[in-house]
Structure 1
Amino acid sequence: MNTLPFASRGLGAHAVTISRVAENQWHAVENDLVVGRGHASRRLDGRTFVSVDTWREEIFDQLAAAMLVDQSVPLYTVVDETDRELKASWERAGFTTSRREYEFVVPTEQATVLIPSDVVIATAEEGPLRLLDKAIRAEVEAAVGWQTMPAEVLAWQGGTRPMDPSTYTVAIRDGRYAGMVRVATRTRRPRIGLVAVLAADQRHGVGCALLAQVLQTLHNKGFEAVTAEVDESNKPALALFESLGARRTGTTLELVSKEV
């Protein structure tokens, strides 16, 4: 356990001690009371995300400084763009905005979307789904880079990552998998986790038909809306969701610290 003393601001203030109480947890203790907590979480994509819980600005700064010393950079954190106080706190610690993600609510009731004659919407089978997954990842990495993807969308792991085909719907074009949508339903409101179409099959109505079919299926199951997040730089995806009546509900910032 690492323990660091810090002097609190103000006359008569008690000294604050920052302690690493576990591999991924830090406490700020003042006068035998915990006045702040820090937490680090290593996600499945290999990145470490940090958070601080305290209502005092100086305690936040002390915890953030201790965590940066104890952890290897880069470190990441996520904040709501409207939470300017929290954003400013992380910026004082040396974090800068690396990406911005828009949050949407999408109605499941849609006008009829014409499915192209050469496209079939189907449930996924694991073998061809893995091939499609690998091909799309290679295209993303070669274009905008995998760092633009949400943290939960894992980097390629040589085909060893478990995949649940039941959470995917695919578009088959000319007899091969051309696009896919992944939906998480174990939440209060279903969530679109991924929409992707191979570059060669884009601009042929594949993505729109695929997503519209998924929304219709969810509507038939009694869901009125789904949620989704889209990187602000992904103009085609933004246009697709907006064409389906998506309503923007918020913006999340991903901040990164690359230097201690």
Structure 2
Amino acid sequence: MESTEQTGSTVISRVADHQWHALEDDLVVGRGEAWRRHDGRLFLGIDVWRDALFGPLVEAVLAGLPRPLYTVVDEADADLVSRWEHAGFTAARRERVYIVPTDPQVTGLGTVRPPSGVTLLPFGAPQRDPLRELDRAVRDEVGASVGWQEMPAEVLPRLDDAVVTDPTKYTVAQESGRYVGLLRLAPVPRQPRIGLLAVRADCWRRGVARALLAEVLGSLHASGAESVSAEVGERNEAALALFESVGAERAGGNVEMVLR
């Protein structure tokens, strides 16, 4: 698919189904892209060489896409937030970015143990089928409460989709042969990222999440990693309290914006 429109000396072309280029003298001076996330929502990204190109480029992108549309902006970038607002987007969700220490002397997690009857399976030990079952259960519970859109953007597709599950990224809590909680660690360069920490609803308030966090942070500390990053939705009060209780420091935040 290709379409072109002229805006002054700038030519904006739709070069692929979800990609746009802004051209001046046949040189790319801006790019627009749309991509569908695992929950089915369509997100946008705009990158321009000059601020004045943002408006024409985003207008061209919006003209070719259905609603609703989403984007994520660093909360500290007030100018960019304002540009998206001018395009009709409004804030829908806010997410805090934390840096979490791994040293048990700092986190206070050195003496934390799993609840009675719960054992922890370290990275690589979980089995795929029970892991898929736990993933489905957690997603159904979240979907029935706050909604899966409240989960971090880094969360993978459902494990029962056509996706290769890598057990080396998961630490799992098990009770009576049933998986009841998981922590997924994303191996991001320079600093690992906690992509998901979740516990079955019938096991909440027993210390399972804290035990998983203690296991993973302690393992990372032993391997030489001083900290990890994590993103937590501002509406997730339990997760905010858990991370802040172990010495996590806020390092910024993101604003998820929507055009309906």
Q: TM-score, normalised by structure 1?
A: 0.89
For 1:3, the aligned partner's letter is T
Q: Provide, for residues 152-202 of structure 1, a one-character-per-residue CA deviation record: whole Å limited to 9, x for no partner.
A: 324547554332112111111244211110012242111111000111111
TM-aligned CA deviation for residue 130 of structure 1: 1.1
1:76 aligns with 2:70: yes
Give ranges in structure 1 of 5+ residues lacking alignment.
Answer: 8-14
Number of residues paired by the alignment? 251
Counterpart of 1:117 in structure 2 is 116
- CA distance change for structure 1 residues 119 and 158 in 2, over 3 Å: closer, same or farther? closer
Distance 2:161 2:45 in 1: 31
Provide the residue aligned with 2:40 in structure 1. Answer: 46
Distance 2:3 2:158 in 1: 35
* CA deviation vs aligned residue, 1:223-248 (integer Å, no higher than 9, x gap): 11111111110011111111111111
Aligned residues of 1:80 and 1:251 also touching (Cα < 8 A): yes
Q: Is the 8 A contact 1:45 1:151 kept in 2?
A: no
Aligned mates of 2:23, 2:168 — CA distance in 1: 47
Q: 1:160 to 1:34 in 2, by over 3 A?
A: closer
Residues 45 and 154, structure 1, Cα contact 8 Å, conserved in 2: no
Residue 176 of structure 1 corresponds to 178
* 1: CA distance, partners of 2:116 / 2:92: 41
Q: Does 1:257 align with 2:259?
A: yes
Calculate percent identity across the aligned residue pairs: 52
Corresponding residue to 2:208 among 203, 206, 209: 206
> Could you tell me which of 159, 162, 165 is aligned with 2:167?
165
Aligned-partner SS, 2:190: coil
Q: Do the aligned partners of 1:44 and 1:152 also contact (CA within 8 Å) in 2?
A: no
Q: Report the alpha carbon displacement of residue 31 of structure 1 after superposing the two structures with TM.
A: 4.9
Task: Give matches, 1:60-209, under 5 Å.
Answer: 60-110=54-104, 111=108, 112=110, 113-122=112-121, 123-154=125-156, 156=158, 158-209=160-211
Match of 2:239, as an amino acid? A
- Structure 1 stretch displaced more, 208-217 or 170-179: 170-179
Matched residue type, 1:188: R
**What residue is the counterpart of 1:6 in the other structure?**
7
Q: How far, CA to CA, are the matches of 1:198 and 1:147 in structure 2? A: 18
Residue in structure 2 matched with residue 16 of structure 1 by the alignment: 10
1:29 paired residue number: 23
- Structure 2: which 5+ residue stretches go unaligned? none
The answer (yes or no) to whether the contact 1:121–1:171 under 8 Å persists in 2 is: yes
Normalised by the length of structure 2, the TM-score is 0.89
> Structure 1 CA distance, aligned partners of 2:27 and 2:155?
39
Cα offset for 1:215? 0.7
Matching of residue 220 in structure 1 with residue 222 in structure 2: yes
Task: After TM superposition, give the deviation of residue 99 of structure 1 in Å.
Answer: 1.0
Amino acid at match of 1:61: G
Q: Is 1:232 equivalent to 2:234 in the alignment?
A: yes
Q: Secondary structure at the match of 1:140?
A: helix
Comparing 46-55 with 203-212, which one deviates more in the overlay? 46-55
